[in-house]
Amino acid sequence: MTVASPNDFQESLQPQGWLRYFSFSLDHKVIGLQYLVTGFLFYFIGGALAGVIRAELTSPISDFVSRETYNEVLTLHGTVMIFLWIVPVVNGAFGNYLIPFYVGARDMAFPRLNAVAFWMIPPAGILLIGSYFITGAAQSGWTAYPPLSITTPALGQVVWIVSVLLLGGSSIFGGINFIATVLKLRRPGLKLMQLPMYCWAMLGTSILVVLSTPVLAGTLLLLSFDIVAHTGFFNPALGGNVVVYQHLFWFYSHPAVYIMVLPAFGLVSEILPIHARKPLFGYTTMVYSILAIVVLGLVVWAHHMFTSGTPPWMRLFFTIATSFIAVPTGIKFFNWLATLWGGKLALNSAMLFSCAFIVNFVFGGITGVALAQVPFDIHVHDTYFVVGHFHYIVYGGTVFVIFASVYHWYPKFTGRMLNEDLGRLHFLLTFIGFNLCFAPQHWLGLNGMPRRVAEYDPSFTTLNQISSVGALLMAVSSLPFLYNVIVSAFRGQVAGDNPWNALTPEWLTSSPPPVENWIGEAPLVQHPYGYGVDEDTLSVQAATGRDLWSGAGRR
Amino acid sequence: MTSLATSGSATAAEAAAAEDHGGHADLRLFGLATFLVADGMTFAGFFAAYLTFRAVNPLPAGSTYELELLLPSINTMLLLVSSYTFHRSGRNLLLGRMGPCRNWLLLTAGLGAAFLTGQMVEYFTLPFGLTDNLFASTFYALTGFHGLHVTLGVICILLVWVQTRNGGRVTSADPFGLEAAELYWHFVDGIWVVLYGILYLL
């Protein structure tokens, strides 16, 4: 009885070359890139949906699309961007590609489960997008709050639930795999506190995934009973309780914010030291900050519900707990600044996106602390202020890091460099477009423009049009990016094994890496951030020691 | 499960163990346990919903939380005994006694099936249906979701029973199939004890 290894398949059934990416491959690098490319496809679909929303909002009346279509589009936009773009890409794509390298393994702990987890995503995505064309999509937003989700057309809502259940299952399988890989598959001699920060981020994220995603699954099952079998769990007309849905939903969906942003913290912690040529500042505090965010992240969910008749003691508790999250997050923020401080910065595209992440994220973080305060939250609840805040975290935070990571790891993925000039153009357009799009939404929200409505008061027209121009710029910004990633794959400058002179293990092999990651023994990297340190304190290539596989005689 | 990952130096025995598992320590039970934590959280969400409903949503006049206790109590005993019989089966497997191992397995599957039958009898004799009131819906959702787990467990036990036949893949040298089914079965039993406590006794 053997645990599946990619080798067994490589020699028999598995296709070679580019066909691998369309197969049930067990290689973590293939799966990682499958996640990444699929994620980007859904990013452009979700972006087109956002384009429809911003086009509609250029005028105060609903003229571009009907109100029902607007509701469908905003529901699909939220669901696609969260469940099919950000979660699969920051977790599935970079996690699967990088984590085995970082722990010194040749693959994930459960390669077959890993492939299953990925192949749950395309059907879920097709179901979700297809529902718009065939049955009409769900109209109740990505939160699917009852009674709205019970009273809007049932078929689209049920398809939405099935799709989210599939994606949740995929996410849980991925989480199990990451936990096992980080905790159990480390190369002998590699201690937990020597792991690159992204491993810690993925461990924390995966704990959140395993603890909170099942609660969403259970809740959606109950919701589907309400829709299909006419039970009354969340239907006040039948004696049910809508607030219970909100509690259960946010028990997942608040941690989901950390599921989307913790891996980004990890990725940026890998990128900054390499391009600043300095060790990551405050490694230990970074680790404990992540663990603190995991614990606190599980007990702050009701701050989304301050206007849902929550009793005063609950408001008090959740305000305090939420404000506390600013402490570990602030520690990480200052650690990144200290990492940059006095460094020899190479302001390339990866670094520009990473630094912009720090700026955007601290802005989103400040509005987040503001939103945690009950009096302020009640004032701006369900307005565009919340939309602005959320997009500063998830776009300005996570998506900026995804772009930084693509620029940083593209040479490893393909063996070729991306064009720097196009990268800087992409950055400039994205940064200006993003701020132009989302900064005005804070003003709109403070002045009372409700979110999720196709029409608004004519006095908000100018700011909405500015916001839409920003969205257009963001759309344009993806053109140089797309051109860059496609053309550079064939004509880019050859990267070599380690174009950034990095010390983390994925760079200590060829680009792209061989099937089992290293020819010969896995390197023992005990100082992944040893930049600017004496050469002899580094043990990049251990002379002795062995990796987990060398006993099996597979060299 | 030996943890090769944390050991610093190689021994011949460890290297041999690594080879047996295709390169690294066998992590399948660890993975299953992590999955059961996730599965347990689904139940935890249901329990939390039920307790909140019960605390804040009054039932319509004429309906009650009272349930017949005899049958579910017998069912609880059946499941607890089945955990013991499964344990006996696992012990026998590790000792290489395949005959008793398979008999205990069959007995466990029988107890599981008896539990499901009891559950069915209860469903057909209850005075309320799925959509009668909030408690009725929650009752059927909770017991139904658990019953689904028991059904899956019985199927797994029967599969393991087939695999423990002479020449099957589950042997005393490779007991993973049985150990996984056993872990899952104990988990399902544990969930039932909590469910019995809050649904029937509370």
Looking up tokens 């696992």 gives B90
Put residue A521 in one of left, alpha, beta given phi > 0 → left and psi -120 to 50 → alpha: beta
- Whether A1 maps to a domain, the answer reads no
What tokens were used for A177?
């795999």
Of B9, B23, B37, the CB nearest to A548: B23
Longest dimension (CA), chain B: 73
What would the pLDDT profile of B92-128 be if each residue is shown by its tens digit? 999 999 999 999 999 999 999 999 999 999 999 998 9
Of A175, A214, A240, the CB nearest to B42: A214
Of A179, A186, A240, the CB nearest to B134: A240
Contact (CB, 8 A) for A396 and A364? yes
- Going by pLDDT thresholds of 50, 70 and 90, the confidence category of residue A520 is confident
Contacts of A248 in chain B (CB under 8 A): 45, 48-49
Question: Which residue is closest to B39 within chain A, CA to CA?
Answer: A214
What would the pLDDT profile of A202-247 be if each residue is shown by its tens digit? 999 999 999 999 999 999 999 999 999 999 999 999 989 999 999 9
Q: Which residue, among A220, A369, A355, A193, has the nearest Cα to A282 in the 3D structure?
A: A193
What would the pLDDT profile of A22-69 be if each residue is shown by its tens digit? 888 999 999 999 999 999 999 999 999 999 999 999 999 999 999 999
Cα–Cα distance, B142 to B66 (Å, whole number):
16
How many Å separate Cα B200 from the centre of its chain?
19
- Whether B5 maps to a domain, the answer reads no
Beta-carbon contacts of A69 under 8 Å, excluding residues fewer than 6 positions away, are: none
What would the pLDDT profile of B141-187 be if each residue is shown by its tens digit? 999 999 999 999 999 999 999 999 988 899 999 999 999 999 999 99
Residue A13 is predicted with a pLDDT of: 57
What is the pLDDT averaged over residues A437-445?
97
Cα–Cα distance, A540 to A542 (Å, whole number):
6
Number of domains comprising chain B: 1
Say yes or no for a CB contact (<8 Å) between A239 and B59: yes
What would the pLDDT profile of A385-394 be if each residue is shown by its tens digit? 999 999 999 9
The torsion angles phi and psi of A106, rounded to 5 degrees, stand at: -95, -15
Task: Report the SS3 class of residue A138.
Answer: coil
Q: Select the residue from A184, A211, A219, A539 to test the B interface by mutation, using most B Cβ atoms within 10 A.
A: A184
Q: Which residue, among A433, A405, A432, has the nearest Cα to A418 in the 3D structure?
A: A405
- Whether B15 maps to a domain, the answer reads no
The torsion angles phi and psi of B64, rounded to 5 degrees, stand at: -145, 160
Q: Would you list the DSSP string of A380-403?
A: HTTBHHHHHHHHHHIIIIIIHHHH
Contact (CB, 8 A) for A78 and A496? no
Say yes or no for a CB contact (<8 Å) between B38 and A177: no
CA distance, residue B5 to nearest chain A CA (Å): 5
ipTM of predicted assembly, 2 dp: 0.90
Of A215, A546, A548, the CB nearest to B5: A548
Residue A301 is predicted with a pLDDT of: 95
- Going by pLDDT thresholds of 50, 70 and 90, the confidence category of residue A367 is very high
- Going by pLDDT thresholds of 50, 70 and 90, the confidence category of residue A309 is confident
Q: Which residue has the higher pLDDT, B72 or B59?
A: B72
- Whether A7 maps to a domain, the answer reads no
Residue A519 is predicted with a pLDDT of: 86
pTM given for the model: 0.91
Say yes or no for a CB contact (<8 Å) between B49 and A1: no
Residue B62 is predicted with a pLDDT of: 78
Cα–Cα distance, A264 to A287 (Å, whole number):
14
Task: Report the SS3 class of residue A494.
Answer: strand
- Going by pLDDT thresholds of 50, 70 and 90, the confidence category of residue B25 is confident
- Going by pLDDT thresholds of 50, 70 and 90, the confidence category of residue B16 is very low
What tokens were used for A407?
């620029």
- Whether A369 maps to a domain, the answer reads yes
Cα–Cα distance, A261 to A265 (Å, whole number):
6
**CB count in 10 Å sphere of residue A448:** 15
Per the DSSP assignment, residues forming a β-bridge with B70 are none
- Going by pLDDT thresholds of 50, 70 and 90, the confidence category of residue B23 is low
Residue A14 is predicted with a pLDDT of: 61
What would the pLDDT profile of A273-304 be if each residue is shown by its tens digit? 999 999 999 999 999 999 999 999 999 999 99
Looking up tokens 């916001």 gives A467
Share of chain A above pLDDT 70, in %: 93
A21 touches chain B (CB under 8 A): no
Contact (CB, 8 A) for A338 and A282? yes
Contact (CB, 8 A) for A507 and A500? yes
Q: Which residue, among A266, A253, A255, has the nearest Cα to A91 in the 3D structure?
A: A266
Q: Is A209 exposed, middle or buried (0-12, 13-18, 19+ CB in 10 A)?
A: buried
Touching B: A residues 239-258, CB under 8 Å: 239-241, 244, 247-248, 251
Say yes or no for a CB contact (<8 Å) between B138 and A233: yes
3-state helix, strand, coil in chain B (%, to 5): 75, 0, 25
Residue B138: CATH number of its domain: 1.20.120.80
Question: Which residue is closest to A213 within chain B, CA to CA?
Answer: B38
Residue A380: CATH number of its domain: 1.20.210.10
The torsion angles phi and psi of A416, rounded to 5 degrees, stand at: -130, 150
Q: Which residue has the higher pLDDT, A117 or A2?
A: A117
Q: Would you list the DSSP string of chain B?
A: ---GGG--S--HHHHHHHHHTTTS---HHHHHHHHHHHHHHHHHHHHHHHHHHHHH-PPPTT--S----HHHHHHHHHHHHHHHHHHHHHHHHHTT-HHHHHHHHHHHHHHHHHHHHHHHHHHHH-S--TTSSHHHHHHHHHHHHHHHHHHHHHHHHHHHHHHTSTT-S--SS--HHHHHHHHHHHHHHHHHHHHHIIIII-
Q: What is the mean pLDDT of chain A?
A: 91
Number of domains comprising chain A: 1
| Range(s) of the domain holding residue B138 | 26-201
- Whether B19 maps to a domain, the answer reads no
Contacts of A188 in chain B (CB under 8 A): 4-10
Contacts of B178 in chain A (CB under 8 A): none
- Whether B172 maps to a domain, the answer reads yes
Residue B155 is predicted with a pLDDT of: 97
Cα–Cα distance, A441 to A369 (Å, whole number):
17
Task: Report the SS3 class of residue A450.
Answer: strand
Residue A535 is predicted with a pLDDT of: 55
Of B4, B31, B46, the CB nearest to A218: B46
Question: Which residue is closest to A218 within chain B, CA to CA?
Answer: B42
Residue A331 is predicted with a pLDDT of: 96
CA distance, residue A237 to nearest chain B CA (Å): 11
| Range(s) of the domain holding residue A517 | 26-552
Residue A553 is predicted with a pLDDT of: 36
A231 touches chain B (CB under 8 A): yes
The torsion angles phi and psi of A383, rounded to 5 degrees, stand at: -110, 180
- Whether A265 maps to a domain, the answer reads yes
Touching B: A residues 112-141, CB under 8 Å: 113
CA distance, residue B91 to nearest chain A CA (Å): 21
Cα–Cα distance, B186 to B112 (Å, whole number):
12
Residue B64 is predicted with a pLDDT of: 80
Touching B: A residues 365-404, CB under 8 Å: none
Say yes or no for a CB contact (<8 Å) between B30 and A180: yes
Cα–Cα distance, A265 to A120 (Å, whole number):
26
Contact (CB, 8 A) for B93 and B101? yes
Contacts of B148 in chain A (CB under 8 A): none
- Whether B69 maps to a domain, the answer reads yes
What is the pLDDT averaged over residues A457-472?
96
Q: Which amino acid is at B6?
A: T
Contact (CB, 8 A) for A169 and A113? no
Please count the CA atoms within 13 angstroms of the CA of A9 that sit on its side-chain side.
18
- Whether B6 maps to a domain, the answer reads no
Instruction: Using the predicted structure, report yes or no on whether residue A8 has a pLDDT greater than 90.
Output: no
Put residue A17 in one of left, alpha, beta given phi > 0 → left and psi -120 to 50 → alpha: left
Cα–Cα distance, A240 to B136 (Å, whole number):
12
Q: Which residue, among A95, A258, A264, has the nearest Cα to A173 in the 3D structure?
A: A95
Angstrom distances, CA of residue A219 to CA of A151, A248, A477: 17, 6, 38
Contact (CB, 8 A) for A226 and A233? yes
Return the DSSP state at A315: H
Cα–Cα distance, B188 to B181 (Å, whole number):
10
Say yes or no for a CB contact (<8 Å) between A222 and B49: yes
Instruction: Using the predicted structure, report yes or no on whether residue A104 has a pLDDT greater than 70.
Output: yes
Contact (CB, 8 A) for A250 and A212? no
What is the pLDDT averaged over residues A310-333?
94
Put residue A474 in one of left, alpha, beta given phi > 0 → left and psi -120 to 50 → alpha: alpha
